Amino acid sequence: MGGYGMNTRGLGEARNIRDLAREQALLPLRIFLGVTFIYAGLDKLTDSSFFRADGPGSIGAAMHAVRDSAAIPALVDLALKGPGAFGYAIALGELAVGIGTLIGLWARLAALGGALISLSLWLTVSWQVTPYYFGNDLVYLMAWLPLVLGGAASFSLDALLASRRRRIR
């Protein structure tokens, strides 16, 4: 059972609540970020106006609006070469990152993907937000970093696979 977040030290031995809390510390963050990114990806995929090059609610209009205030305008210019394709890349990326994070499959890689999406959005869309802490993309970037470092140690497919690998050896 150790791979599922239910480590046992010995039969009948009680677990220390601090050990359990430490072991599960990243689980609420994983759930929040996973659900949020799945929602964000699905929200984009179900919005017919999002993938357009212009018009209200479109990725193209959003990119044009932030182009001159972005930290790296070249990133916005790159997105503007194919706004629909860029929109699909972001939406599918958010969906993949969210699912990977929520189920804990390749959790560090998923978290790195989430961090890179958040970084790119911070450097483009929310760079001009003042004061900086009002921009949520920077907060998401910082929230992904503990998951990049810690992965999904429990209640995850990564833990299940690691447990199976240990049993095979």
Residues in Cβ contact with 149 at an 8 Å cutoff, skipping those fewer than 6 apart: 108
How far apart CA 78 and CA 83 sit, in angstroms, is 9
Other Cβ atoms closer than 10 A to 30: 25
This prediction has a pTM of 0.86
Other Cβ atoms closer than 10 A to 155: 19
The backbone torsions φ and ψ at residue 2, rounded to the nearest 5 degrees and listed phi first, read -55, -30
Give residue-wise pLDDT tens across range 21-80. 888 999 999 999 999 999 999 999 999 899 999 999 999 999 999 999 999 999 999 999
- Does 8 have pLDDT greater than 70? no
To which residue do tokens 């990133």 refer?
75
How confident is the model over 82-94, as a mean pLDDT? 97
